[in-house]
Amino acid sequence: MKIIFKIARAELRTLFYSPVAWFVIFLFYVITAAVFSFGLEDASNFQELIRDLQPEWQGFPGIGGMLVDGMRNKLMGYIYLFIPLLTMGIINREISNGTIKLLYSSPVTTREIVLGKYLGLVIFNMLLVLIFALMLTSIYFVVENGEYKWYLSVLLGTFLLINTYAAIGLFISCLTTYQIVAAMITFTVFFVLSVIGGLWQQYDLVRDLTFALSINGKADRMLNGLITSRDIIYFLIIIMLFIGFALIKLKSTQESGRKKITIGKYILLTMLVVLIGYVSSRPGYIAYFDLTKNKLNTVHPAVQEAIAELDGSPVTVTLYTNLLEKYAFAGLPQSRNGYIWGVWEQYIRFYPNLQFKYEYYYDTMDGDSSLYYEYPGKSLEEIVAIEAEIKGIRPSIFKKPETIRKQIDLSSEGKRLIMQLEYNGKKEWLRTYSDATVWPEQNHVAAVFKRLTRKENVKIQFATGHYERDPFDHAGRNYGFLITGKGRHTLLNNGVDADTVSLAARDIPAKTNLLVVADPRSAYSEAELQKISDHIDKGGNTIFYLEPGKETILEPVLKQLGVHPVAGTIVQPDAHEMPHIFYAPMTRAGNYLAKEPAMEDFQQYRFPGVKVQHEGTLHLEYEAKNGFSIEPVITKEGDEKSWIENGILVVDSAAPIFNASEGDLRKEEYVTALKLTRRIGNREQRIIVTGDADFITPSRIVMSQINSALYSWGLDNKYPIYCNSPMAPDKYVKITHAQSKFLMVIYMYVASGALLLAAIVLLVRRKRK
């Protein structure tokens, strides 16, 4: 070991007396200091300005992370350019100068030469990492609640990546006696290793091989605060591989052995590295350490709970990809590594027994001729050939329409990109979405896991038979878009099914999780009203959506609950909107109904909370009755500009005028939604009554952030499964704009000038000697 350290010390001396090494140090420092200083200056300036304009400003969405991301992204774009300048002469300099023969003739082994020189590079790289550490330490001290553990992970990832590049450069330095040639080859190899992961990905064997060889993105998890045993082992075995190659190369120049033996050594070492890499990357054999405070790299605890309900049996995930579908690119073979490691690895971490299958096909929906308009005069097979060529894939891997239709019926899902999960003989769809992200989020995956493990489905029953709002119609004033639609926020994709029940034809099913009576437009019979009352008497959860002018239809049921809708429509004339359309905030009780993002922000951080947009609503008066506790959940403060209009209201004409003689009323507060609770046995019965059935329709819900909150509360907050990430803890910088500018002067000018001066002095003194 003493000899190795001596060689490392000699190599460091050579490096520090080299202008190239000082150029690398100076450039590395200037880049990191510039990104940090300018980023901090911008942030502090913005913070001062915004606090003057908005004193209630809640801070940046992770300013420390933003500064770290800026530096790391810039460094990752340049770092592979620095290393060849350091390694281009590390071995071939000895060969071209003839000093290698002296080393060979001395009591120094080839292993000690290689390891000593590599250790010198590692120590030099530590200096570069220390420069980066200086900036990260500065971030920790100038940002509130800086995440030092994450910063340590960033340093580890950077250190391993630089040293991996150094090992590759060291080996390439053994291949030629010309330093400039070694540098060019090293640049080329680094470039190839960075892009090879995207080449020929449509071929299974090539895809797996190039993914293993590609160094691009291998440090990303550590840079994001997630350390895995697989990534650490990957870098270590790549370092071992190229140091081993260097040893084999130098040994072969000393010995006159046969080339076959040398080639065999290369092959044996490569196979050993591949084997270690394969074993270390198997699901279930990877250790994970998420160093971020909010565990941003780990699936939400609610998802972990859903996964924990699986019994260890295999979950088979079959991806169906239709070549002719808009988002087919996401499911093609060339995207498979991104699909596995980008979408599913976070779940494999907690449930390794996920198995993946792929079905490729082409087909169109019956009666859909849009594709033939796009390709006029072309047959389906000709269209497939064109699409396959555009997407760079062999058309032969795609099953024909008649084949896939015999295998499975995909028409109900629009024959688009979709996954089907199978577990213990039960199958459920996991949908993709028509947006840039495509893939489902954590809440959707958790909901499907719940579907696979629960004994009974969770179902909402919508009363029907009297022109109520339809949970299957997605247009206009109906509710299909949020209930049974196939978008990201629908209850269907969050583990909840819906059905309708005609109260005139049958009883409300006993296993109804939530009954919804949404704006009936004709009178219920006494028998129908009795069925609703019986459901409530048995402790059934219920939501009533009322509308002005039809409040008397449900009056017998509401009277038993202690709720009394006041006739008339609340209006608030406005020059820019119809008088019956206005915003109303949710109360504290309303903001605690569920974990919708805006509600959780209110609960955790005292953000303003949710506002809904009413389009004609009743005022609800109430009194505690039959054991119910009642609380308003949506209210509007009364003033001179608002009242309950009981005259003729024409919303698209002249603004209404308050007229007490027509029955118009003013209130200090208008209540537009109530929640009722009482204990029934060992559970809590939950009922919602709203004076407006329009605020959760497509045209209005986009103006608020209430989403599925009422349904969540009515389903005992079991569905949807909310997976909100906590806000970043580093929201503010602790220094003023003037202080950040002073810090910029120190880092950008004083420190860089001192570094440059030190380099010049050292190099001049060396030259004189």
What length is written for the chain?
769
Residue 490: CB partners within 8 Å, gap ≥ 6? 481, 482, 483, 484
CA 222, distance to chain mean position in Å, is: 16
**Which tokens belong to 323?**
């070549």
Residue 726: CB partners within 8 Å, gap ≥ 6? 294, 604
Q: What does the pLDDT look like over 630-671, one tens digit per residue?
A: 999 999 999 999 999 998 888 888 889 999 989 999 999 999
Residue with tokens 């391993």: 160
pLDDT band at residue 95 using 50, 70 and 90 as cut-offs: low
Whole-number Å distance between alpha carbons of 650 and 512? 40
Q: What does the pLDDT look like over 598-631, one tens digit per residue?
A: 999 999 988 889 999 999 999 999 999 999 999 9
**Angle of CA points 311, 313, 318, to nearest 5°:** 125
Nearest to 433 by CA among 526, 325, 332: 325
Q: Look up residue 343 and give its DSSP letter.
A: I
CA 180, distance to chain mean position in Å, is: 44
pLDDT band at residue 512 using 50, 70 and 90 as cut-offs: very high
Q: Look up residue 309 and give its DSSP letter.
A: T
pLDDT band at residue 197 using 50, 70 and 90 as cut-offs: low
Nearest to 187 by CA among 281, 88, 264: 88
- 536, pLDDT greater than 70: yes
Alpha helices in 255-285 (DSSP H): 259-280
pLDDT band at residue 526 using 50, 70 and 90 as cut-offs: very high
**Angle of CA points 28, 34, 39, to nearest 5°:** 135
Q: Mean pLDDT across the chain, nearest whole number?
A: 89
Q: What is the CATH number of domain 459-714?
A: 3.40.50
- As separate numbers, helices (DSSP H) first and strands (DSSP E) second, the chain gives 28, 19
Nearest to 632 by CA among 669, 583, 595, 577: 669
Q: Phi and psi (nearest 5°) for 225?
A: 95, 10
For residues 106-111, average pLDDT: 73
Residue 236 class from Cβ within 10 Å (0-12 exposed, 13-18 middle, 19+ buried)?
A: middle
Nearest to 344 by CA among 335, 354, 334: 354
The strand pair at 563-566 and 619-622 is best described as antiparallel
pLDDT band at residue 554 using 50, 70 and 90 as cut-offs: very high
Secondary structure of residue 270 in the 3-state scheme: helix
Whole-number Å distance between alpha carbons of 711 and 598? 16
Q: Regarding predicted confidence, which is higher, 179 or 2?
A: 2
**Which tokens belong to 140?**
């920790």
Nearest to 632 by CA among 602, 673, 661, 600: 673
Q: Which pTM value belongs to this model?
A: 0.89
- 211, pLDDT greater than 90: no
Q: Regarding predicted confidence, which is higher, 601 or 766?
A: 601
For residues 348-364, average pLDDT: 95
For residues 702-730, average pLDDT: 93
- Residue 306: its pLDDT value, please? 96
Q: What does the pLDDT look like over 564-606, one tens digit per residue?
A: 999 999 999 988 899 999 999 999 999 999 999 999 999 998 8
Secondary structure of residue 305 in the 3-state scheme: helix
Secondary structure of residue 131 in the 3-state scheme: helix
- Residue 649: its pLDDT value, please? 87
Whole-number Å distance between alpha carbons of 427 and 448? 9
So where are the chain's domains? Answer: 2-200+739-768, 301-453, 459-714
Q: What does the pLDDT look like over 455-474, one tens digit per residue?
A: 999 999 999 999 999 999 98
- 69, pLDDT greater than 70: yes
Beta strands per DSSP E along 395-458: 418-423, 426-431
Residue 414: CB partners within 8 Å, gap ≥ 6? 365
Q: What does the pLDDT look like over 129-165, one tens digit per residue?
A: 999 999 999 999 999 988 999 999 999 999 999 999 8
Whole-number Å distance between alpha carbons of 630 and 714? 15
**Which tokens belong to 710?**
């009422």
Whole-number Å distance between alpha carbons of 174 and 95? 9
- Residue 409: its pLDDT value, please? 94
Secondary structure of residue 150 in the 3-state scheme: helix
For residues 689-710, average pLDDT: 92
Per the CB < 8 A criterion, the answer to whether 670 and 638 are in contact is: yes
Per the CB < 8 A criterion, the answer to whether 601 and 607 are in contact is: yes
Q: Is the bond leading into 520 cis (omega within 30 degrees of zero)? A: no
CA-CA-CA-CA torsion sign (667, 669, 674, 677): negative
Judged by average pLDDT, the poorest of 109-113, 306-310, 437-441, 593-597 is: 109-113
Secondary structure of residue 96 in the 3-state scheme: helix
Q: What does the pLDDT look like over 39-64, one tens digit per residue?
A: 999 999 999 999 888 888 888 888 99
Type of residue numbered 67: L
Secondary structure of residue 634 in the 3-state scheme: strand
Nearest to 734 by CA among 40, 36, 72: 40
Alpha-carbon Rg of the chain, whole angstroms?
Answer: 34
